[in-house]
Amino acid sequence: MNQAQTIASLINKRLIYITIISAFVASFLSAAYTLVEFNFSIKPELLKKANSIAQIIHDDVELAIDVGVPYQQISGMESYLDDTLKKYPELTFVALTQNDDVLYQAGVVEELDPTYAISFEKTSSQYLSASFIERLVVVLKELPQLLPSLFSSETTRSDLFQLPINVAEDVSARVYVGLSSTYVQSQLTDIFFDIAIVLVAVLLVCFEVVMVVVMVYISGPLEESESILKRQVKGDFSVNEKITYHGVIGTFADRLNQDSKDLQSRFKALFSKLLPQRTDSAEVNSKLKSVSDRFSLQNKMGVHKGDVVDARIPLFVFSFAEELSKSFMPLFVNEFYQPSSWISKDVMLGLPISVFMFVIAACTPFAAKWVDRWGQKQLFLVGLIPAIGGYFGCAFATDAMDIVISRGVTAFGYAIITISCQSYIAAVVTSENRAKGMAMFVGVLMTATMCGTALGAIIADRIGYQPVFLLSAVLAAFAGILAWRMFIGELDTSEGKKSAAQKGSVLLLMKNLRFMAVILFCAIPAKIVLTGFLYFLVPLYLVSLDASQSEIGRIMMIYSLVIIPLSL
């Protein structure tokens, strides 16, 4: 390995390590602060809710007493308290007492001690009036105790709220509300896992971005500088006219290239000046031509071979946009299904996934021909039109069939875009690193699948299903901007086109029994099983277990989380 490659490799590794570690530390601190801040801020809201419930019960009881119903003989009070308890899962019990004896109750009543009951006004104001510094101190103090409690199954005593009821002078009546401590713990656990998923996704996205930035601003310019220096040392002063340089190192490479360009300009001026003045112009022309050929003083290098990194970020962003909806597609269709539909519910729930996969399989062979005819960059941008149109169709769908049609339209764009990216990678890699380039293609798809599936579930759990498709449309448009900036307009793919134009290439593949056996008995069945199980059965089964949308996304991302390290 030469010195320039060693320097580039060393710089790449250090920059990647430093960036990833910095991002991890920053994300961890942000996640820890968010977790404890949530714990700190949720208390006043729960206090407010418990106080409101207690106040409603208090007012209803006093209304009954005011119209002449004896406090000890309020009919239907037990049912009233049961209904109240069922409506609010954060409550453990509701009780009405007379002289410290329970008269009416719903749920398992714990020890009722008025001195233990929390004052809403005092506790709420204590939380809400805390300054930033005070909250930061609480964060540092509570963090060691908070993290172990997230996974603890032990239950602590419920928070107790009470309000006195005006019954009679000789009767002490109160309404008690118990606020579950496990409810707060469950909410914190959900937030913890959501933050953990976001942390993992941020690190993966950071890795993808750092890889591209390093290649564009460090590795690429270093390799180009090395190439120019090697040519100049050998006496080759060719000028590369179609290279775009980035960063400080790119400026250095541009300066080296500019030196060759200046030398060529001087030689051209000297050639134009001497040739008309000499009587032996043929001999002078021959000598000058010999000098020009020896030092490449008239050679222009205009072909940019491109790099796999050009397609990495656009492919990642578009795949990420597509995967946002994978964790809830059957559940999304279920919301729009009408029983009067001519298609049964079981078929309709899986129809968008089936149509999506069928359209991809049907369009891929034609997309490959379109890439050869119009080029990767143009086809990527064209594929965005049906892809984004399909996302808008799902976002504004009014029935299940709208979703099926929209997913088919998106699949058409998805097939075009993925084939254009795959073709781009195949065009820029050499025979020595072709396997590495294809592995990068698969790795980017798996990384986008993991991030998109998990984050899409979290977003859908917070704001609903349809806004996720609007976000997908925005990200797909952003991927198009990246592709427009990073893809090279024309690639030297003459060799690939020549081999693709050979007659009988498809027939030769079909005659290869081993290849067809792998496709028919391994690849296709595995894809069908994976799609049917992971994207159809898993969401439906988990929702039957009362799992939240965030939990469904977390479980589905395990597949990609296992695949990514095994594919490296």
The contacts of residue 435 (CB under 8 Å, 6+ apart) are: none
402 with 389: CB under 8 angstroms?
no
218 with 15: CB under 8 angstroms?
yes
Handedness of CA 372, 375, 377, 380 (dihedral sign): negative
State yes or no: pLDDT of 202 exceeds 70: yes
What is the three-class DSSP state of 179? strand
% of the chain with per-residue pLDDT over 90: 15
Name the least confident of 120-129, 133-142, 228-237, 476-485: 120-129
Band (pLDDT 50/70/90 cuts) for residue 415 is very high
Q: What is the pLDDT of residue 351?
A: 92
What is the three-class DSSP state of 94? strand
State yes or no: pLDDT of 503 exceeds 50: no
According to DSSP, residue 72 is labeled G
State yes or no: pLDDT of 362 exceeds 60: yes
Q: What is the pLDDT of residue 500?
A: 47
225-228: long-range contacts at Cβ-Cβ below 8 A with a sequence spacing of 24 or more?
225/4, 225/249, 225/252, 225/253, 225/256, 226/2, 226/4, 226/5, 228/253, 228/256, 228/257, 228/260
**The CATH fold of domain 311-490+507-567:** Growth Hormone; Chain: A; (1.20.1250)
Distance CA 8, CA 247 (A): 14
Taking every pair of Cα atoms in the chain, the longest distance, rounded to a whole number of angstroms, is: 134
Q: What is the dihedral of CA 290, 293, 294, 299, to 10 degrees?
A: 150
Handedness of CA 258, 261, 267, 271 (dihedral sign): negative
Q: What is the pLDDT of residue 45?
A: 77
pLDDT, tens digit, for every residue of 224-269? 777 778 877 777 777 776 666 667 777 777 787 777 778 777 777 7
Name the least confident of 37-51, 85-99, 392-406: 37-51
Termini Cα distance of the chain: 23
pLDDT, tens digit, for every residue of 467-492? 999 999 999 999 999 888 888 755 55
Q: What is the pLDDT of residue 64?
A: 86
Name the least confident of 23-37, 46-60, 294-308: 294-308
More confident residue, 263 or 94: 94
Q: What is the pLDDT of residue 96?
A: 87
Q: What is the pTM of this model?
A: 0.75
Distance CA 429, CA 435 (A): 9
More confident residue, 241 or 520: 520
% of the chain with per-residue pLDDT over 70: 78
Q: What is the pLDDT of residue 424?
A: 85
More confident residue, 432 or 208: 208
Q: What is the pLDDT of residue 275?
A: 59
Domains 33-190 and 311-490+507-567 share a fold: no
Q: What is the pLDDT of residue 1?
A: 45
Q: What is the pLDDT of residue 480?
A: 92
Q: What is the pLDDT of residue 130?
A: 58
3-state helix, strand, coil in the chain (%, to 5): 75, 5, 20
The residues spanned by each domain of the chain are 33-190, 235-301, 311-490+507-567
Q: Does domain 33-190 correspond to CATH entry 3.90.650.10? A: no
Q: What is the pLDDT of residue 325?
A: 92
Query: To which residue do tokens 């149509």 refer?
Result: 355
Q: What is the pLDDT of residue 499?
A: 47
